[in-house]
Amino acid sequence: MALTDHVADGARGEADFEIVAMGAQGDGVTPEGVFIPLTLPGEAVRARRSGDRAELIAVTRPGPARVTPPCPHFGDCGGCALQHWASEPYLDWKCDQVRAALTRVRLETDVSLAFTAPPGSRRRVALHARREGKNVILGFKARRAWRVVPIRVCDIAEPGLVAALPMLRALAAPFLTSPKSAPTLHVTLTASGLDIDVTGVERPGPSADARVRLGAMSAQADIARLTLAGETLYQARQVMLGIGPANVALPPGAFLQASGGAEEAMAGIVVAAAHGARRVADLYCGVGTFAFRLAATAQVLAADSSAPAIAALKSALASAPGLRPITAQARDLDRRPVLAEELKGMDLAVFDPPRAGAAIQSAELGRSGLGRVIAVSCNPATFARDAKILTDAGFRLDWVQVVDQFLWSPHIEVVALFSRT
The 10s digit of each residue's pLDDT in 13-68 is: 789 999 999 999 999 999 999 999 999 999 999 999 999 999 999 999 999 999 99
User: Model confidence at 12, in pLDDT bands (50, 70, 90)?
Assistant: low
Lowest mean per-residue pLDDT among 38-42, 158-162, 177-181: 177-181
Least Cα distance to 332 among 361, 312, 355 occurs for 361
Name the residue with higher pLDDT: 1 or 28: 28
CATH 2.40.50.1070 assigned to 124-240: yes
Angstrom distance (rounded) from CA 130 to CA 110: 46
The class that CATH gives domain 3-66 is mainly beta
Domain 92-118+257-420 is classified in which CATH homologous superfamily?
Vaccinia Virus protein VP39 (3.40.50.150)
Active-site position among 80, 95, 285, 378: 378
Kindly state the average pLDDT of the residues 91-95: 97
Lowest mean per-residue pLDDT among 70-79, 296-305, 357-366: 70-79
Question: Active-site residue 285, yes or no?
Answer: no
**CA separation (Å) from 408 to 87, 125, 206, 279?**
9, 15, 36, 38
DSSP strand pairing (225-228 vs 193-199) = parallel
Least Cα distance to 333 among 365, 311, 308 occurs for 365
Cα distance between the two ends of the chain: 57
Q: Please say whether the beta carbons of 286 and 309 come within 8 A.
A: yes
User: Model confidence at 132, in pLDDT bands (50, 70, 90)?
Assistant: confident
Least Cα distance to 282 among 254, 303, 257 occurs for 303
Please report which residue ranges of 87-240 form alpha helices under DSSP H.
87-104, 159-163, 165-172, 208-221
User: Model confidence at 172, in pLDDT bands (50, 70, 90)?
Assistant: very high
Size (the chain), residues: 421
Q: Please say whether the beta carbons of 256 and 124 come within 8 A.
A: yes
Burial class of residue 162, CB neighbours in 10 A (0-12, 13-18, 19+): middle
**pLDDT for the residue numbered 1:** 36
SS3 string, 223-242, reads CCEEEECCEEEEECCCCEEE
User: Model confidence at 177, in pLDDT bands (50, 70, 90)?
Assistant: confident
- What is the percent of the chain where pLDDT is above 70? 97
**pLDDT for the residue numbered 7:** 44
Q: Please say whether the beta carbons of 374 and 348 come within 8 A.
A: yes
What does the pLDDT look like over 117-131, one tens digit per residue? Answer: 999 999 999 999 999
**pLDDT for the residue numbered 326:** 98
Identify the DSSP state of 44.
E
Q: Do 3-66 and 124-240 fold alike per CATH?
A: yes
Mean residue pLDDT across the chain: 94
**pLDDT for the residue numbered 313:** 98
The overall pTM is greater than 0.85: yes
Single-letter amino acid code for the residue at 329:
Q
Residue 11 CA, chain-centre distance (Å), reads 41
What does the pLDDT look like over 194-253, one tens digit per residue? Answer: 999 999 998 888 999 999 999 999 999 999 999 999 999 999 999 999 999 999 999 998
**pLDDT for the residue numbered 144:** 80
Structural domain boundaries of the chain?
A: 3-66, 92-118+257-420, 124-240
**pLDDT for the residue numbered 8:** 44
What does the pLDDT look like over 260-271, one tens digit per residue? Answer: 999 999 999 999
